[in-house]
Amino acid sequence: MNEASNIQRVEASSIHARDLDLGYRAPQTLIAKGISFDLFPGELTCLMGPNGVGKSTLLKAILHQNPPLKGKVFLDQVDVSVLSNRQRAKKLAVVLTEKITSGEMTVNELVALGRVPHTGWSGLLSPRDKLMVKKVLDLTHISHLANKKLAALSDGQRQTALIARALAQDSKVLILDEPTAHLDLTNRFEIMHLLRHLAKKSSRAILVVTHDLEVAMETADKLWIMEARKPLLAGCPEDLMIQGQIQRLLPGDKWQIDPQSGKIRLLDPAKLPNIEGPSHLSQWIRNVFRKNPELYQPKQIRVRDQPFGISLFFPNREEKVTSIAEMIRFLRTQPT
């Protein structure tokens, strides 16, 4: 039963691969071994992992720019190595990290380039192509920017335009390499929510390489975690968080992911003071001691709201302060 349902899932996947060895040929370098994955339509999947672990190599294997050393990647059940560039372009569109230097190009022209695999030799757009460009501009909410030059766009707008270009390619699979790098907080969320919306609305399979765990937890249906020389770990982000598997993103023992907030933070030092008070306040006091392990630690700390105040208890006295900065200043004067 379990096996049967597994087979069904493989048939439904947009991209799948089993037991790939990834690396470079000349000189022969093995980067990742035994990589297997399934990318499903209608799902937003985030590929995460430390730098140098082989994420880019995995992308290049899927795009057939650097075929795997061993194994095959299947796009819509077809081996990518037998597809022509053009056939592949109709099934798979990408947003790369490359900088676009053509500042005189308008958003409309950029998005129209997405029709390249569908147009004739001259690249002239048919009414159907033009309709698709318009539809995609509407879908990504950048119709008002259509005649703006790329040089005049903000980083977030430019990234959205690049996503629109990829959408205009009308492929069932979309792969984005770090689309939210260099973006501010709001734009990071906007872009990822847009991608999630697109995955759901048009049942595309979307794979995003990102280092942004916070946004990935918020938006992804699946996480793929790559670790040096280990098989790819795939799962529902919440499961991976609860199981503690997420910790694999942070090799070494300096950092940890707080299972409560999903945020990365310094590992708790051996000793933390005992802090009493509402948790939305006490967590920030704890944060101070994590950041400043050398700080003198009182026996007990009590924090209260309205009015905000902190009481520091020492074996023989009590000190009251009204801000965290004041608390730090005071503790710095104490002998350690």
Partner 1 sequence: MNKPRTYKLLFCLFLCLLLWLINLSLGSVAIPLRALIERLAGIPFERDSWEIIVMEYRLPKSLTAVLVGIALPISGLQMQTFFRNPLAGPYVLGISSGAGLGVALLSMAGTAFGWHCLQGSGNHWAAIVAASLGAIAVLVLMGLAAWKVRDSMSLLIVGLMFGSAASSLITLLAYFSAAEELKMFTIWSMGNLGNSGWSELGLLSVLLLLGLLPALLSVKAFNAMLLGENYAISMGINFERLRWSMILSTGLLTGSITAFCGPIAFIGIAVPHLARLLFRTNDHTFLFPAAALLGVLVLLVCDSISQLPGMASSLPINAVTTAFGAPLIIWLIMRRNFSEAF
The residue range among 16-24, 42-50, 93-101, 183-191 that interacts with partner 1, by the rule CB under 8 A, is 93-101
The nearest distance, CB 118 to partner 1, in angstroms, is 9
Going 150 to 156 to 159 to 164, the CA torsion angle's sign is negative
Count CB atoms within 10 A of the CB of residue 76. Answer: 17
| 324 vs 304: CA distance, rounded Å | 12
Q: Check residue 63 for interaction with partner 1 (CB under 8 A).
A: yes
Q: Check residue 121 for interaction with partner 1 (CB under 8 A).
A: yes
Q: Which is nearer to partner 1, 3 or 98 (CB)?
A: 98
The nearest distance, CB 27 to partner 1, in angstroms, is 15
Q: Check residue 125 for interaction with partner 1 (CB under 8 A).
A: no
Name which position in 66, 87, 202, 256 contacts partner 1 (CB under 8 A). 87
The nearest distance, CB 91 to partner 1, in angstroms, is 10
Name which position in 82, 151, 236, 325 contacts partner 1 (CB under 8 A). 151
Name which position in 116, 146, 264, 288 contacts partner 1 (CB under 8 A). 116
Pick from 45, 41, 9, 4: which is nearest to 233 by CA?
A: 45
Q: At what angle do helices 324-332 and 279-291 cross, to 10 degrees?
A: 40
Q: Check residue 26 for interaction with partner 1 (CB under 8 A).
A: no
The nearest distance, CB 207 to partner 1, in angstroms, is 14
Q: Which is nearer to partner 1, 83 or 264 (CB)?
A: 83
Query: In b/e form, how buried is each residue of 12-29, taking b as 16+ CB within 10 angstroms?
Result: ebbbbbeebebbeeeeee
Q: Which is nearer to partner 1, 85 or 316 (CB)?
A: 85
The nearest distance, CB 52 to partner 1, in angstroms, is 20
Query: In b/e form, how buried is each residue of 117-152, taking b as 16+ CB within 10 angstroms?
Result: bbeeeeeebeeebeebbeebbebbebeebbeeebee
Q: Which is nearer to partner 1, 59 or 225 (CB)?
A: 59
Check if the beta carbon of residue 62 is closer than 8 Å to that of residue 15: yes
Check if the beta carbon of residue 146 is closer than 8 Å to that of residue 137: yes
Three-class secondary structure assignment of 22-69: EEECCCCEEEEEEEEEEECCCCEEEEECCCCCCHHHHHHHHCCCCCCC
Q: Check residue 113 for interaction with partner 1 (CB under 8 A).
A: yes
Q: Which is nearer to partner 1, 70 or 118 (CB)?
A: 118
| 328 vs 218: CA distance, rounded Å | 34
In the window 255-274, what residues touch partner 1 (CB under 8 A)?
A: none
The nearest distance, CB 178 to partner 1, in angstroms, is 14
The nearest distance, CB 75 to partner 1, in angstroms, is 13
Pick from 301, 306, 307: which is nearest to 287 by CA?
A: 301
Report the amino acid identity of residue 5: S
Q: Check residue 90 for interaction with partner 1 (CB under 8 A).
A: yes
| 149 vs 107: CA distance, rounded Å | 6
Q: Check residue 92 for interaction with partner 1 (CB under 8 A).
A: yes
Give residues in contact with partner 1 (CB under 8 A): 63, 65, 84-90, 92-94, 96, 98, 100-105, 109-110, 113-114, 116-117, 119, 121-124, 151, 169
